[in-house]
């Protein structure tokens, strides 16, 4: 192929999507655009367009850029997912073949670093003296007040349970009993005076 033929071919295939039939130095080239669902992104002598890739939602992907007759679909990772099968590329904004939802942390743990489109969530156990029922954040155990007793100690997943002191049946003493006691005290005070 002469340099001139090569240049002509390159111009043709740049302008048009695809060469209709292979060219010979004297036949010239005829180009046709790629039909829907196919594309050609490089000038060449090929006479068939490539089929467009699709972005599988089941693999955590969506189409960031739709296919055109001169460029393939560009898939990206759906929010809340990270890429498990990146397409190696010197490009920083690499493409992805498959992604997975960010993991949740177990109860008793908290999120150390939130997942990104490239990395999964990282978790760490709650620090001593704190708990996390959902596995998101850790909260310090409640300290029971002076007129309460600790009914149940806190652990990694549950808070401390506090109860009323003496008797521990706060709210269960019937009102008449309270009134009676107060009357008794009143009587004692009156008698004392």
Ligand X SMILES: *[C@@H]1O[C@H](CO)[C@@H](O)[C@H](O)[C@H]1NC(C)=O
Binding site for ligand X (CB under 6 A): 63, 65-66, 111, 136-137, 152, 155-158
In whole angstroms, how close is the CB of 3 to ligand X at the nearest point?
40
In whole angstroms, how close is the CB of 70 to ligand X at the nearest point?
15
In whole angstroms, how close is the CB of 49 to ligand X at the nearest point?
18
Question: Between 45 and 62, whose beta carbon lies closer to ligand X?
Answer: 62
Question: Between 150 and 164, whose beta carbon lies closer to ligand X?
Answer: 150
Three-class SS of the chain: CCHHHHHHHHHHHHHCCEECCCCCCCCCCCEECCCCCEECCCCCCCCCCEECCCCCHHHCEEEEECCECCECCEEEECCCEEECCEECCCCCCCEECCEEECCCCCCCEEEEECCCCCCCCEEEECCCCEECCCCCCCEECCCCCCCEEEEECCCCCCCCEEEECCCCCCCCCCHHHHHHHHHHHHHHHHHHC
Question: Between 45 and 133, whose beta carbon lies closer to ligand X?
Answer: 133
């Amino acid at each position: 192929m002469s340099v001139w033929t090569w240049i002509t071919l390159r111009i043709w295939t740049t302008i048009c999507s695809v060469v209709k039939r292979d060219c010979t130095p004297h036949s010239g080239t005829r180009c046709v655009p790629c039909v829907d669902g196919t594309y050609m992104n490089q000038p060449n002598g090929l006479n068939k367009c490539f089929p467009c890739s699709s972005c599988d939602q089941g693999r955590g992907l969506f189409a960031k850029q739709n296919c055109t007759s001169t460029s393939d679909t560009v898939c990206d990772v759906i929010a809340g997912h990270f890429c498990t099968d990146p397409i190696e590329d010197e490009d920083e904004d690499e493409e992805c073949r498959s992604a997975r939802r960010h993991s949740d942390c177990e109860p008793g743990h908290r999120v150390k670093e939130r997942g990104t489109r490239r990395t999964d969530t990282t978790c760490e156990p709650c620090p001593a003296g704190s708990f996390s029922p959902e596995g998101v954040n850790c909260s310090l155990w409640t300290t029971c007040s002076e007129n309460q007793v600790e009914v149940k100690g806190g652990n990694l997943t549950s808070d401390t349970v506090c109860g009323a002191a003496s008797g521990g049946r706060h709210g269960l003493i019937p009102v008449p009993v309270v009134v009676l006691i107060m009357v008794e005290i009143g009587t004692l005070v009156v008698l004392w005076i």
